[in-house]
Amino acid sequence: MNKYMLSALALSFTLSAGSAMAQGKVTKKSDDEKTKVTTEDGMMTKTKVADDGKTKIKAKTPAGGKMKATTKPREGADMADMKMTTPAGVMVGGAMMTADKDIVDNAVNSTDHTTLVAAVKAADLVTTLKSDGPFTVFAPTNAAFDKLPAGTVNTLVMPENKAKLTTILTYHVVPGRLMAADLKDGQVLTTVEGENLTVHRSGNSVMLHDAKGGMATVTVADAVSKNGVTHVIDTVLMPTK
């Protein structure tokens, strides 16, 4: 694994552009080892990748707040398994999820969740997910929605299918703030939709078994918002209704 591959990975952690759902514009400067990203609202992120694969990230908010993070690949670890977590928040879809924003305001900045955000808007659930909560949201990525049969998403977001879309989305929401450490093997979670999800856990690996027998894996955990927590999942969960 060379430093150029790792530099590309670091860029994917910090760049949140190219999505109609993301807010603001992004400018960037980069070479083989360093990347600087500045958003329209003044958020600045610098990334440096060393020869040994260690990645250093520094960020400065428009208000002057500063964040630092350092990651180093584990021996033999696959790049896809690397997660970016700092005291300031969790990196999801190229953006830092921070506790001063609500669930929706964090989600719109993730380039991995543009489909989910569009679906939430189509179902008129934005106001609900911006309310006090707290909520635990299991958030399917764009790739998770791509696993559905062709045309499913386009059909669900049609106005006449709003009730079905709402049923599916609220099946991904559980009342309360459940961190990854709170999810136990065999635990049954009652969703806002009303049906259950069953937790399967082995060490730090957390999976969710849905009402139709499907299984989703938590790929990024504990993205804390001011009104709850989001866990990124790799498959859309399906209720029986």
Give pTM, 2 decimals.
0.66
Q: What is the Cα–Cα distance from 206 to 98, expressed in whole angstroms? A: 22
Say what percent of the chain tops pLDDT 70.
Answer: 63
Q: Where are the alpha helices (DSSP H) in the chain?
A: 3-14, 103-107, 114-122, 126-129, 142-146, 152-156, 162-170
Looking at residue 83, what is its pLDDT? 47
Looking at residue 42, what is its pLDDT? 66
Looking at residue 60, what is its pLDDT? 66
Looking at residue 3, what is its pLDDT? 43
Looking at residue 39, what is its pLDDT? 58
Determine the 3-state secondary structure of 118 from DSSP.
helix
Q: What is the Cα–Cα distance from 23 to 7, expressed in whole angstroms? A: 24
Looking at residue 192, what is its pLDDT? 96
First to last CA, the chain: 46
Looking at residue 123, what is its pLDDT? 95
Domains annotated for the chain, with CATH where assigned, are 3-82 (no CATH), 103-233 (2.30.180.10)
Looking at residue 43, what is its pLDDT? 63
Please identify every stretch of the chain with a pLDDT value under 70, giving residue numbers as ranges: 1-88
- Peptide bond before 134: cis, by omega within 30 degrees of 0? yes
Looking at residue 133, what is its pLDDT? 86
Dihedral pair phi/psi, residue 105, rounded to 5°: -65, -30
